[in-house]
Amino acid sequence: MHTMHINNLDLNLLRAFDAVYRLRHVSRAAESIGLTQPATSHAITRLRLLLGDPLFVRSGSSMTPTPRAQQLAGAVTLALSALADALDEPERFDPARSHRSFRLHMTDIGEARFLPQLMAQLCPHAPGITLETQPVPHADVALALDAGRLDFAIGFLPGVDNTERVELLRDTYVVLVRRGHPILKRTQLKNRQRHLEGPDALQQLDFAAVRSHADTLRLLQSHQLESRLKLTASHFLALPDIVRQTDLAVLVPQTIAEHMSATGDCVLIMPPFALRAFAVSLHWSRRVHHSAAHQWLRQLIVATCAPPASRRVS
């Protein structure tokens, strides 16, 4: 096994390695750390020789890490993050004086669920801080966090690995229809909740769904209801009025359905099959785990958006 001593290692080699690992591209990595492309390539070559491993293999225009690089990446990211925080960040982060901008991944349903409470806390207590939501494909969320293109990601993100995370809440999907919908004649009231009766009850409904919330589309497909899908909208904002003005039903998270039905013109129904609960979590990169600014905002997000039993974050 090829071994080396830390005394032989130049810190800039690790900076180059970390940038290439996060961005999967030498030129973009060089730009992110203020080096030329040849200097970054030379640093990776030196590190390859020191470790006796290729570290990255070119795959099209991307640099794919080897197992040795994946094993090394976590420790390098944490070490560089801790060092950067110690050198660059003040001992205290003052949200009342800060003018920092944070970028968050959320779906439009996530925006509706979390942003009102979060902004209600930010505006009076941190008036100079701004938030920007930037939804990205789930497969790119972890890389965007590591690359600094995102500060946080909030949502049901089962495919997002290698991040720090804390669960905000657990939810499940329910059916939402307008008050007076004919299907309500087939419901029974149990424990203050309306339940559909009969396994074929949903086959009598026509559905609307939102393209950005792909889990609802998969649920309809898994219960052989795709033929009942009459509308696929691009944005969640249209759904409440669509439900109120038509006989279309929607599958939505229960917390969202409770909000939409609060006015009394929509009714929440528990479907006649068990829907597995899912976790909505807050994700962030290990490289900013010790950042005072990130610690402050993630603690605020948890305190604002999570039920009391879930409010634990480091």
Cα(55)–Cα(24) distance, rounded to whole angstroms?
11
Sheet holding 173-178, edge to edge: 187-190, 193-196, 266-270, 173-178, 248-253, 206-210, 229-233
How many angstroms separate the CA atoms of 78 and 18, rounded?
A: 10
Report the relative pairing of strands 164-171 and 206-210 from DSSP bridges. unpaired
pLDDT digits (tens, 9 = 90+) for 44-84: 999 999 889 999 999 888 899 999 999 888 888 777 766 76
Buried b (16+ CB within 10 A) or exposed e, 19-38: bbbbbbbbeebbebbebeee
Question: In CATH, which of 3.30.300.30, 3.40.50.800, 1.10.10.10, 1.10.10.1110 is domain 6-88?
Answer: 1.10.10.10
Q: Is 253 in contact with 175 (CB distance < 8 Å)?
A: no
Tell me whether residue 47 is exposed, middle or buried, using C-beta atoms within 10 angstroms of its C-beta: 0 to 12, 13 to 18, 19 or more: buried
* Predicted pLDDT of residue 6: 58
User: Architecture of 173-270 per CATH?
Assistant: 3-Layer(aba) Sandwich (3.40)
Model pLDDT, residue 1: 45
Asked if the domains at 6-88 and 173-270 fall in one CATH topology, the answer is no
| Domain layout of the chain by residue ranges | 6-88, 101-170+278-310, 173-270
Are the beta carbons of 82 and 290 closer than 8 angstroms? yes
Mind listing the pLDDT tens digit of every residue in the chain (314 residues)?
Answer: 455 555 567 888 998 998 899 889 999 888 888 889 999 999 999 999 988 999 999 988 889 999 999 988 888 877 776 676 566 555 578 899 888 889 999 988 888 889 999 999 999 999 999 999 988 888 889 988 988 889 999 988 888 888 999 999 888 889 999 999 999 888 887 877 888 877 677 888 999 998 877 778 888 888 888 899 999 988 888 888 999 999 999 988 888 888 888 888 999 998 876 666 788 999 999 888 888 899 999 999 999 988 765 555 55
172 neighbors 253 (Cβ within 8 angstroms): yes
Render the chain in DSSP notation, one character per residue. Answer: -----GGG--HHHHHHHHHHHHHS-HHHHHHHHT--HHHHHHHHHHHHHHHTS--EEEETTEEEEPHHHHHHHHHHHHHHHHHHHHHHS-SS--TTT---EEEEE--HHHHHHHHHHHHHHHHHH-TT-EEEE----GGGHHHHHHHTS-SEEEE--TT--SSEEEEEEEE-EEEEEETT-GGGGGEEEETTEEEE-STTGGGG-EEEEETT-HHHHHHHHHTT-GGGEEEEES-GGGHHHHHHHSSEEEEEEHHHHHHHTTTSSEEEEE-SS----EEEEEEE-GGGTT-HHHHHHHHHHHHHHS-GGG----
pLDDT at position 204 is 85
Is this model's pTM higher than 0.75 or not? no
Residue 229: its pLDDT value, please?
93
Distance CA 290, CA 267 (A): 45
Position 226: which residue type? E
Secondary-structure class of domain 101-170+278-310 per CATH: alpha beta
Q: What's the pLDDT at 309?
A: 55
